[in-house]
Amino acid sequence: MTKIYFRYSYIYEETLARLAGENFTLADFDKTQKFCEEFSKYWEQYGDKMFDYYKNLGLTLPEFWIAYPVHSRKGMVPFSDPLTIFINDDFEEVTAVLVHELCHVFLTTAENEKLSNDLWQNVSKKYPAENFNTISHLLVNLLAKGGLEHLFGNEISKRLLAPERSMNGLKEAWAIIDTKPSLLEIPNPIEAIRNL
């Protein structure tokens, strides 16, 4: 069964802080360690359920990933490789970001290359004027939406996904998706992507 290990790396967080022109303090260190412990326990109720969902869609997943929680830094957003999320007291919001970033990873893992390339080619032919980031998020947004609905149901997922509709890099893809509301009703996100 696939697992995520939430790993605290002092040197990684300190390096990100330095790159952002910010300080890294002992209080940051303590808070991040505490977050890793608490969020790891919270995630236990969702990990197997989420990974089973994506495996049942036909994705191949490795045995484990390492996720690095860090403090939010000026000019930075969470990213998929290395899997980096921001600490936040709202664990549902953290889960939404984590699922989104994992969907980027799912689509770039070598074992999923054929499916990912097929989806990419299908979508890029339909939207040839769109840039790389928008095409990428057409796939990721729908894939992540499916996973969040599986974990939290429709209402909580709508709330968690609402901020993405105003985020640079994601809002352009959501604007396209939202012109086709029937896509949002398709339970299988891979089928929804094929119907974009």
For the cut 90, the answer to whether the pLDDT of residue 114 exceeds it is yes
Reading phi first (left if > 0) and then psi (alpha if -120 to 50, else beta), residue 75 is in: left
pLDDT at residue 83 is higher than 90: yes
Task: Determine what percent of the chain is predicted with pLDDT higher than 70.
Answer: 100
Report yes or no: 67 and 83 within 8 Å, Cβ to Cβ.
yes
Model pTM score: 0.95
**Kind and range of the H or E run holding 42:** helix 26-43
Domain boundaries, the chain: 3-108, 110-194
Give per-residue pLDDT as tens, 48-61. Answer: 999 999 999 999 99
Taking 90 as the threshold, does the pLDDT of residue 1 lie above it? no
CA atoms within 13 A on the CB side of 194: 9
Residue 37: CB atoms within 10 Å: 12
Which of 149, 166, 167 has its CA nearest to residue 158? 149
